[in-house]
């Protein structure tokens, strides 16, 4: 019986770990980006995030030439309504972290500045969202968990993140449906009003022409 129980436990553990891996793979929580910045233009990356999500990102200038000639960049992160969440100038490395307070597209823009602005440069960005932004080693040490229990905690967080994302998508779908219904209703009323105006204009035109022809004794 002991051998059978151990086999069942191992299979259950394998299934849970595989499920955690699948959920983590399907949950867009982290992204590594590489931007090539032209000398006199800016490039931006955006991410659609709902409220109450932790965002953490690191960025650094990639330069393989003379260390004394490393170009500097500026970075600015804005919320959907235009609030500035991070602004850094004349930097070669940087980091920003915030918790979203409103749903929508969060925009991070980078551009080259400083004395070495004549040539383009590259920027590496490590963008982490939600469960990917958590310091799991610290959580494991604090809660004294490891192994399967730690993976189960990650799985639980991934499930909650997916559930919250589904609720957010459902609310957006409901909002878009209401907007579509309102737009359809307004277009219908506009069509009815346009038809009424056309009928009224035709009736007035017929009345005027009839009076004109009677006055000229043409009918």
User: Could you give the angle at the alpha carbon of 174 between the alpha carbons of 171 and 178, nearest 5°?
Assistant: 140
| Mean pLDDT across the chain | 79
Alpha-carbon distance 22 to 46, whole Å? 25
Q: How far is it, in rounded angstroms, from Cα 202 to Cα 219? A: 20
- Rounded CA-CA distance 56/126 in Å is 8
Segments making up each domain of the chain, as ranges: 26-144
Least confident of 103-107, 142-146, 162-166, 208-212: 142-146
Pairing of strands 121-129, 54-62: antiparallel
Q: Which strands form 30-37's sheet, in the order they lie side by side?
A: 30-37, 121-129, 54-62, 93-99
Helices within the chain (DSSP H only) = 2-26, 136-143, 147-215
Are 145 and 94 in contact, with CB atoms under 8 Å apart? no
pLDDT one-digit tens code per residue, 5-53: 455 444 544 444 444 444 444 444 566 788 888 877 888 988 888 888 8
111 in Cβ contact with 41 (< 8 Å): yes
Task: Classify domain 26-144 by CATH architecture.
Answer: Sandwich (2.60)
Over residues 127-143, the pLDDT tens digits come to 888 777 676 677 677 77
Q: Is the pTM of this model over 0.75?
A: no
DSSP state string for 55-88: EEEEEEEE--S-GGG--EEEEEEE-TTS-EEEEE
184 versus 137: the higher-pLDDT residue is 184
Instruction: Report yes or no: 98 and 55 within 8 Å, Cβ to Cβ.
Output: yes
> Which pLDDT belongs to residue 119?
67
């Amino acid at each position: 019986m002991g051998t059978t129980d151990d086999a069942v436990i191992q299979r259950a553990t394998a299934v849970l770990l595989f499920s955690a891996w699948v959920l983590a793979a399907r949950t867009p929580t982290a992204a590594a980006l590489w931007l090539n910045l032209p000398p006199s233009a800016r490039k931006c990356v955006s991410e659609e995030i709902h409220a109450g999500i932790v965002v953490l990102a690191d960025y650094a200038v990639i330069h393989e030439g003379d260390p004394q000639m490393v170009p500097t960049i500026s970075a600015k992160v804005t919320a959907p309504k235009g609030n500035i969440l991070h602004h850094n100038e004349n930097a070669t490395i940087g980091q920003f972290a915030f918790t979203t307070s409103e749903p929508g597209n969060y925009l991070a823009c980078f551009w080259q500045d400083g004395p070495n602005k004549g040539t383009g440069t590259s920027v590496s960005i490590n963008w982490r969202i939600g469960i990917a932004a958590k310091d799991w080693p610290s959580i494991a040490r604090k809660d004294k968990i490891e192994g399967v229990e730690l993976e189960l905690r990650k799985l639980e967080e991934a499930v909650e993140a997916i559930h919250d994302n589904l609720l957010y998508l459902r609310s957006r779908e409901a909002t878009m449906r209401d907007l579509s219904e309102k737009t359809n209703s307004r277009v219908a009323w506009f069509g009815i009003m346009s038809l009424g105006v056309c009928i009224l204009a035709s009736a007035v035109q017929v009345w005027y022409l009839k009076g004109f022809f009677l006055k000229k004794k043409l009918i």
